[in-house]
Amino acid sequence: MRLQKFLSSAGVCSRRKGEEYIKNGRIKVNGRIITQPGTKVDPDIDQVEIDSRQVCLEENIVYIAMNKPLGYVTTCEQPGDKIIMDIIDIPERVYPAGRLDKDSTGLLLLTNDGSLHHRLLHPSFDHEKEYEVTVGRPISEGALRKLGKGMPLMGTKTRTAQIRRLSSNRFRIVLKEGKNRQIRRMVRKVGEHVAALKRIRIANIRLGSLDEGKWRYLTEKEKKELLNNQQ
């Protein structure tokens, strides 16, 4: 793990502030002052100190909702691309629970709760994900029915989905699964193409009025409902 990430994960400071501490000679690893931010440490072996005070990993469990901007990828590191982790500057390490395509926007949940992460990703837990879809031209009722009743895709059949028309070329779809680029592939199957795709809900968590590129911590009520749904 990079030293600045270790400091962030231990709740000492953000990654950016950690880089400052390292450059200013405030950090020691195994008794030696380190001034290079990219230095790697092993949390199970190496002893890290800040101003002669030992630092240990004790992460707080956090839950975050983000409105992912267009053009960002949901991986934690990807050279040459803008990543969502550039937007969030907090001490804890969090990971996206699921993904959104680079060309999609909307709700993304991030957490360091490994159990919740697994349950949100696994289709057996039936978590609903709701999207607003804009297609390039008016879409027929027949095409919407096909999207809703399930169709062959990537060697299997998609599960039934709830569909609600919003306008001639916009609709909402609620899925209980998340195959790679599933909605775009489904729409292509009915002879259309997706012009814009935005996720507006995951389980009980709604995007609401959160601006694109912004994030917030889940409320206590949201956390309680989300975690209760995992039982």
Q: Per-residue confidence at 126, pLDDT binned at 50, 70, 90?
A: confident
HSE, side-chain direction, 13 A CA sphere, residue 201: 15
Q: Are residues 150 and 198 in the same domain?
A: yes
Pair 115, 221 in one domain: yes
Return the closest-CA partner of residue 171 out of 151, 192, 202, 150: 192
By annotation, the residues acting in catalysis are 101
* H-type alpha helices, 83-140: 114-121
Number of domains in the chain: 3
**Shared-domain flag, residues 146 and 108:** no
Domain match, 51 and 84 both: no
- CATH code of the domain containing 29: 3.10.290.10
Domain boundary among 55, 77, 99: 55
Range of the domain at 147: 128-202
Query: Are residues 139 and 154 both part of a single domain?
Result: yes
Q: Round to whole Å and give the CA distance between 90 and 67.
A: 17
End-to-end CA distance of the chain: 33
* 3-state DSSP percent of the chain in helix, strand and coil, to 5: 25, 30, 45
- Shared domain check, 144 and 104: no
Task: Please tell me the pTM assigned to this model.
Answer: 0.74
Q: Say if residue 189's pLDDT is above 90.
A: yes
Question: Any idea which residue has 């926007």 for tokens?
Answer: 105
Residue pLDDT, tens place only, 5-44 = 888 777 678 788 889 999 999 999 999 999 998 899 988 7
Helix (H) or strand (E) holding 147: helix 141-149
Are residues 198 and 132 located together in one domain of the fold?
yes
- Contact by Cβ (8 Å): 111, 63: yes
CATH code at position 86? 3.30.70.580
Kindly report, residue by residue over 75-125, the tens digit of the pLDDT: 766 678 898 888 988 877 788 888 899 999 999 999 888 777 777 776 666
219 in the same domain as 170: no
Distance CA 31, CA 29 (A): 5
* Number of Cβ atoms within 10 Å of the Cβ of 214: 12
Q: Give the residue from 13, 38, 55 where a domain finishes.
A: 55
Note whether 13 and 7 are within 8 A (CB).
yes
Q: Give the C-alpha separation, 41 to 56, whole Å.
A: 12
pLDDT tens sequence across 130-171: 999 999 999 999 999 999 999 999 889 999 999 999 999 999
